Structure 1
Amino acid sequence: METVQQKKRVLAIDFARGTSVILMMMVHTMLIYGTIATQTNTVLGEIILWLGRGTTMFLVSMGISFVLSRRQSFLAVCKRALYILAVGYGMNILKFLVPEFLFGGLPEAFVSAYGLKSGTLETGIFFLLLGDILQLAGITLFIMGLINHFSKSKYVPLVVALVIISISKELSGFRVGITGLDYICDLFFSNKFNVYFPVFPWSAFILIGMFLGRWYKELNENQDLFFKRMLFVGLAFIAIGGLLNFSNPEYHFGDYYHLGPGGSILLLGTNLVLYWLVNIVVNLFKENNPVFNLLTFCSKHVTSLYVIQWVLINWGMYVLGFWKHDQWIVLGLFPVVIATSLSIQLAYNELKILWKTKWSKNSNELIVNS
């Protein structure tokens, strides 16, 4: 998910992805610290709930950025996919297992919300293997690598995405009944909360981004034309998804994390229209301003910021508790979580620079002395 060097950055993509990073921090802060009443029966809770729907923009942006990336060989994509998966499971260790060891167990209220008990092997394995957005990203990178290897047509990822959307709900919960293989099935088809973003249907958002990225290149990177066409596609998706949701709301959009076809299409359409609006906004201002610089920074470091904010929020449960605070406390925590996450990212960047400088210096000394 971390952005690699691109031929030409698309400011609207960076703006949208950077905004989604900030929104994710707010959503996760609300989900962990806000009481159920705060999340469901307050103005702030309702706002954050709906803002959370827009965070899927960065899934679409991942697909677009993949096409614009210079890392296109099948081997390079597979290496990147394995790296993202390793980061995902590493994040689970940092979020759950390390604090459990350091603090003598996970907060009881948090573990109970999953129907588990703290300190058991079952609980440790559950949280180690918890499927999140990084697992989705890693697996989808493999899929994109295969598509990229065998076809350059922009319609292939589009067709694959639409097929995934159309059959996801019917496959939801599919298992073969074999330990180990059932976990693989869950990564693809889960209908429970051991996997929050199963490949079916969420990979479709990334694959639609891949389709859009190829379309963008086909249009000779004409951004104005690209976003206008994105608007029309988005409106068509909203119309189709809206009709499907109207016909059976519970089936199509009853569970946000495990959407039916109508929910996926509607959410995709909404995100594409939002991209069009974002492009209008960024064209109204000069590129080099503090807000754009902040959001571009978040966009460039989306993977590490995702890990940092989740680890910070989870560790914060030992101080602030789980599901304990009203909307005003949660509102006050938003800038704290955002500022702390960004500060840790900046410190991490500085450490990487120092490490690279030291490593380069030592390598040069070895060459001189050899």
Structure 2
Amino acid sequence: MEQQSKRILTLDLIKGMSVIGMIIIHTLLIYANVKSQSETAIGSFIVFLGRGTSIFLICMGITFMTSSHQSLTSSLKRGFLLVFAGLFMNFMKFMIPVIFGFAPDNFIQKYGWDAPIEQQYVYLVLLGDILQLAGMSLLFVGFIRKYVTNKYGILAIGLIVALVSREMSGITVDYPVINYILDLLFNTNYPAYVYFPVFPWMSFIIIGMFFGKWFMELNYNSSKLFRNMLYTGLVFVALGAPLVFIYSDYNYNGFYHMGPGGVIYFAGWTMIFLWIIFRLTSGSKENGWMRLLKYCSRNLTSMYMIQWILISWGKGIFGYRQHSIGYVLLLIVFYIFLTFAVQMLVDLIRKKKPFISFRPFPADKTALK
């Protein structure tokens, strides 16, 4: 029964939906002109979907606590691998078009840097994306999982990370390598732009770990977990809303570098959203759509890298932020199919079971009679 399973179908489906969602969002951000992004209903809705990063991170925290790989060593190893995977992805995204001469001229201009073009592209390779966030966070949360046994202690650490993030932002030293690490941790804006600094974004992962620990204490009862998540979410929204809307300069100040109030507010809405999705999917029989989403969930990291590389390379073919929403919708469909095609090719190379091998009929032939 699902209540006795360590895996939660809702989380698998949400992580799978995030794969589809990020292809849609990134295609819009790269190819749609400013008017299409901000002045059309479809564009505005897709941009709004891009504010769902906290959903993925809380899901990551829950599954991190219930994973079969519980050792500190495995957490540290995966953390380093994800950081280097992020750097490799950036190299493929930005340097391959430059090396082979199909990078769009207007792309680099949006950053407004005065440095030589070669140095500007080095900055782009160092750009902090969600892979760097996940990797750097694993270097910390592995110790939390090992040494903090009380779930409220875990939650307290998550809130402390959010509380100190604004105060720690901007710390720099005179050594570029150390500055880059500080940049990933606290967003110093030197030497590269970091979209998801560890402080405060790691808070969402740790809050997810709190619920993962609670899930274990509930003997893996999904219904009780999500009911508790709903109640906690309502409290978080009530606490975070006045901070965000009254003291926004300190507590929000933009989506990517929000303060403590923003973390609490977004975490609250994320918990409520997860409860809604659980209620919608609870008791559902597995179908083709669910199998596809579970496939995406299992291959989330590789598909994230694949879609970003493909979309970035396409700038040299389709142009950068030049198109209307209709043209972008066609590109979205194109990149969804292309991402799945490349992922299945990777499956074949690695001799893994691809999604297309799922049987549409029952294994027992007598059931067809």
Q: Please confirm whether the aligned pair reaches a TM-score higher than 0.5, indicating the same fold.
A: yes
How far 1:93 sits from its partner (Å)? 1.1
Q: Which residue of 2 aligns with 1:125?
A: 122
Matched AA of 2:289 = V
The answer to whether the Cα contact below 8 Å between 1:253 and 1:260 also exists between their aligned partners in 2 is yes
Q: Which residue of 2 aligns with 1:244?
A: 243
Percent of pairs with identical residues: 39
The answer to whether the Cα contact below 8 Å between 2:237 and 2:264 also exists between their aligned partners in 1 is yes
Matched AA of 2:329 = L
Q: Which residue of 2 aligns with 1:148?
A: 145
How far 1:10 sits from its partner (Å)? 0.8
Q: Find the aligned partners of 1:8 and 1:149 in 2 and give their Cα distance.
A: 19
Matched AA of 1:102 = F
Q: Residue 6 of structure 2: which of 8, 18, 23 is its match?
A: 8
Q: Does 1:74 align with 2:72?
A: yes
Q: Residue 100 of structure 2: which of 96, 99, 102 is its match?
A: 102
Tell me the TM-score normalized by structure 1.
0.89
How far 1:185 sits from its partner (Å)? 1.1
Matched AA of 1:240 = L
Q: Residue 54 of structure 2: which of 53, 56, 64 is its match?
A: 56
How far 1:39 sits from its partner (Å)? 1.2
Q: Which residue of 2 aligns with 1:367?
A: none
Mark the CA change 1:252 to 1:329 in structure 2 (over 3 Å): closer, same or farther: farther
How far 1:149 sits from its partner (Å)? 2.5
How far 1:127 sits from its partner (Å)? 1.4
Q: Which residue of 2 aligns with 1:350?
A: 348
Mark the CA change 1:54 to 1:163 in structure 2 (over 3 Å): closer, same or farther: same
Q: Residue 88 of structure 1: which of 77, 86, 89 is its match?
A: 86
How far 1:130 sits from its partner (Å)? 0.9
Q: Find the aligned partners of 1:44 and 1:209 in 2 and give their Cα distance.
A: 31
Q: Find the aligned partners of 1:127 and 1:352 in 2 and give their Cα distance.
A: 30
Q: Deviations over 1:68-114 (max 9, x none)?
A: 1111111111111111112111111111112211126x322110111
Q: Secondary structure at the match of 1:180?
A: helix
Q: Deviations over 1:242-277 (max 9, x none)?
A: 111121234333311101112111111111111101
Q: Deviations over 1:4-36 (max 9, x none)?
A: xxx632100011111122111111111111111
Q: Does 1:178 align with 2:175?
A: yes
Q: Which residue of 2 aligns with 1:167?
A: 164
Q: Which residue of 2 aligns with 1:208?
A: 207
Q: Secondary structure at the match of 1:353?
A: coil
Mark the CA change 1:110 to 1:299 in structure 2 (over 3 Å): closer, same or farther: same
Mark the CA change 1:253 to 1:354 in structure 2 (over 3 Å): closer, same or farther: closer
Matched AA of 1:163 = I
Q: Deviations over 1:41-94 (max 9, x none)?
A: 211121012111124311111111111111111111111111111211111111
Q: Which residue of 2 aligns with 1:39?
A: 37
Deviates more, 1:27-36 or 1:178-187: 178-187
Gaps of at least 5 residues in structure 2 are 354-369
Q: Find the aligned partners of 1:316 and 1:9 in 2 and give their Cα distance.
A: 37
The answer to whether the Cα contact below 8 Å between 2:82 and 2:132 also exists between their aligned partners in 1 is yes
Q: Find the aligned partners of 1:116 and 1:173 in 2 and give their Cα distance.
A: 19
Q: Which residue of 1 aligns with 2:219?
A: 220
Q: Which residue of 2 aligns with 1:323?
A: 321
Q: Find the aligned partners of 1:120 and 1:191 in 2 and give their Cα distance.
A: 22
Q: Find the aligned partners of 1:204 and 1:18 in 2 and give their Cα distance.
A: 22
Q: Which residue of 1 aligns with 2:356?
A: none
How far 1:119 sits from its partner (Å)? 7.5
The answer to whether the Cα contact below 8 Å between 2:104 and 2:316 also exists between their aligned partners in 1 is yes
Q: Secondary structure at the match of 2:149?
A: coil
Q: Find the aligned partners of 2:352 and 2:280 in 1 and give their Cα distance.
A: 37
Q: Find the aligned partners of 1:93 and 1:11 in 2 and give their Cα distance.
A: 34
Q: Deviations over 1:267-296 (max 9, x none)?
A: 11111111101101112521x201111111
The answer to whether the Cα contact below 8 Å between 1:231 and 1:272 also exists between their aligned partners in 2 is yes
Q: Which residue of 1 aligns with 2:267?
A: 268
Q: Residue 22 of structure 2: which of 21, 24, 44 is its match?
A: 24
Q: Which residue of 2 aligns with 1:296?
A: 294
Q: Which residue of 2 aligns with 1:314?
A: 312
Matched AA of 1:319 = I
Matched AA of 1:143 = F
Mark the CA change 1:117 to 1:308 in structure 2 (over 3 Å): closer, same or farther: farther
Q: Secondary structure at the match of 2:86?
A: helix
Gaps of at least 5 residues in structure 1 are 1-6, 356-370
Q: Find the aligned partners of 1:325 and 1:86 in 2 and give their Cα distance.
A: 33
Q: Find the aligned partners of 2:32 and 2:136 in 1 and give their Cα distance.
A: 32
Q: Deviations over 1:107-164 (max 9, x none)?
A: 2211011124798331232012111101110111111111122222222321111011
